Structures are given as structure tokens and as C-alpha cells.
Structure 1
Amino acid sequence: MRHFSQANPFGPGCDNVPALLRRLADSIEGLGPAEIQDVVIRSEPTEYGSWCSGTVYFHLPEDENKGQNEG
């Protein structure tokens, strides 16, 4: 399984969940035909509010064939 993580820029606005979701959605669209397994959103308290980040877990179509061609 593959994954990537993204966060809002640190500082004022780091607690903007809609901005984080847009950022994650743009990245997911950029993957092409990926099968999304899970999306995890977390936050960490800071002086600017909760610093939001997200991790997307996914498979790409070529991952399905990788195990079939081995051994």
C-alpha cells in the first residue's frame, strides 16, 4: 500500500480543515486511477490553533499486477 501526507502551512490558518481537504483532494485527483483505501485527518495543538494534516493510503492499478508477475 502506498501513502502520502500533507499539512496546511504552519502559522495562521493552519487549522483550516476545508483548505486541507481541498489540498488532499487535488493530490488524489493527480494520482489518476487510484484506489483509495483510507484517509486519516489529525491535528496537533499550536499557538495558531490545531495544525491539521492528513494521510491518504492508496493502491495504483500497477500495484495489482506486481505480485502476480513475481515468483
Structure 2
Amino acid sequence: MNDEAREWTVLHFSQSNPTGEGQGDVAALLRHMANSLDDLGDVQVQDLTFSSAVTDGEDDLTMTVYYHREPRRR
């Protein structure tokens, strides 16, 4: 198989703050995401995305992490 035809899979998960007061707290979402990444152990992060949806109250924030179960390159 040549390099152009090679396939690979990336794992991912998303997190949001709970609905209600504090839902739009970016720093809290970043802390939760950092804790979740620490819980995964030594993984190689491929990409991070951040999105915000306008609601009647605070913005609904979501982060998605795409990663491989390979150790980080150092």
C-alpha cells in the first residue's frame, strides 16, 4: 500500500460545561478538558477544536480533542 492510500483512525471526545449558570465559563471548560487529558495518560493530541453556540442564557461552549493512543513525541 502506498502512502497516499494508507488509512488511520483518530480517537476523539467532546466536553461542555453543565447547562445553566457557569455554562459560558471558558476557563472552567479548559480545566475540565486538561483533567480529562491527564486521565488519558500519555497520548498524542492531534487537534483541538472549540465552539460556542448562542443560547438564551450563557453561551454553550464545547471542546473536542482528537488524539492517538501513542506516546507523545518528545
Would you identify which runs of 4 or more consecutive aligned residues in structure 1 move more than 2 Å?
Answer: none
The unaligned stretches of length 5 or more in structure 2 are 1-9
- Looking at secondary structure, tell me which structure has more strand per residue: 1
Q: What TM-score results when the alignment is normalised by the length of structure 2?
A: 0.79
Once the two structures are TM-superposed, the CA of residue 41 in structure 1 deviates from its matched residue by 0.8
Structural mapping, 1:22-33, within 5 Å: 22-33=31-42
Q: Is the 8 A contact 1:13 1:48 kept in 2?
A: no
Do the aligned residues in 2 keep the contact of 1:36 with 1:58 (CA within 8 Å)?
yes
TM-score normalized by the length of structure 1? 0.82
CA distance in 1, matches of 2:23, 2:60: 5
Partner of 1:42: 51
Instruction: Give the percent of matched residue pairs that are identical in Structure 1 and Structure 2.
Output: 40
Q: Which residue of 2 aligns with 1:54?
A: 63
| 1:33 Cα offset (Å) | 0.7
2:24 corresponds to which residue? 15
Give the Cα–Cα distance (whole angstroms) in 2 for the partners of residues 53 and 23 of structure 1.
11
User: Where does the alignment leave 5 or more consecutive residues of structure 1 unmatched?
Assistant: 63-71
**Equivalent residues, number:** 62
1:51 and 1:12 map into 2 onto residues whose CA distance is: 11
